[in-house]
Amino acid sequence: MTPALDRIRVGSAPDSWGVWFPDDPQQVPWERFLDEVAEAGYSWIELGPYGYLPTDPARLTDEVTRRDLKVSAGTVFTSLHRGPSVWDATWEHVGQVAALTQAMGAKHLVVIPSFWRDDKTAEIIEPAELTTEQWGHLSRGMERLGRQVRETYGLDIVVHPHADTHIDTEEHVERFLDSTDSDLVNLCLDTGHYAYCGGDSVKLIETYGERIGYLHLKQVDPEILADVVAGGVPFGPAVQRGVMCEPPAGVPELGPVLAAAQGLGVDLFAIVEQDMYPCEPDKPLPIAVRTRKFLRSCGA
């Protein structure tokens, strides 16, 4: 019998419906996302790109409540490695998202570092490796963000390692964790992105367990990934090739990841994401239903 993962709260996100942008003609309308995520059996959702779901708290509360949904987190992108000059613009954006996240009763803000190459055009925006000075800006900036978000909005930030950003590989993730204060900055471990960049999620949980504040559940297709890595394919085109696949077809195996997370002895959100931008509008719901069934078989 599969042991119950009673510390893990499973949810889904607009990402699993092919949503990457606040407004895009290739994406499903937000009403359909909310209807279908509830139909698939999930009770927790993330806000997704700010502006995709209604940003008026009263309206959004009504929309999620009548579908028996609750919000686990909001998401922001930041470029804090660029130093103090970007702080004011960063805080303005963070404040918008954090205020809505707080109003929805959520406790987490997922922070994604900015891309070093464009996820739509694949244009190289800046070097893939940070200088020592930029690492300092990134670490201090994230600590400042963590402190200010908590003091102003009562939220905890969880930083999301992500392909084609400066926090991606095991080396970069560990460097980031070792250079930041655990009281202010913890991690949103995305199992798919970490595998995409060569990392071992179970090892990370076992080594840095006290820094794991949130999970994104995702898998990669190892054959497609091998081609992507060999060809230097950017993340956006890699997604269009199907590099992020439906569980349990890919890696990492999610059962051991969830068991390791359960072993931490703390309550954790585990939000399903399967990057599929762009995708046919009828594709996400059946996948979401099957994935929820699979996660139940793992005890979640």
* DSSP H helices in the chain: 30-39, 57-65, 87-103, 132-153, 170-178, 191-196, 201-207, 222-231, 235-240, 254-262, 284-297
Domains and CATH numbers, the chain: 8-298 (3.20.20.150)
pLDDT, position 61? 98
Residue 45 CB coordination number (10 Å): 26
In the chain, which stretches have pLDDT less than 70?
1-3
Residue 207 and residue 242: Cα distance in Å, rounded? 30
pLDDT, position 2? 64
pLDDT, position 1? 52
pLDDT, position 225? 98
Ramachandran angles phi, psi of 9, nearest 5°: -110, 115
pLDDT digits (tens, 9 = 90+) for 36-69: 999 999 999 999 999 999 999 999 999 999 999 9
pTM of the model as a whole = 0.97
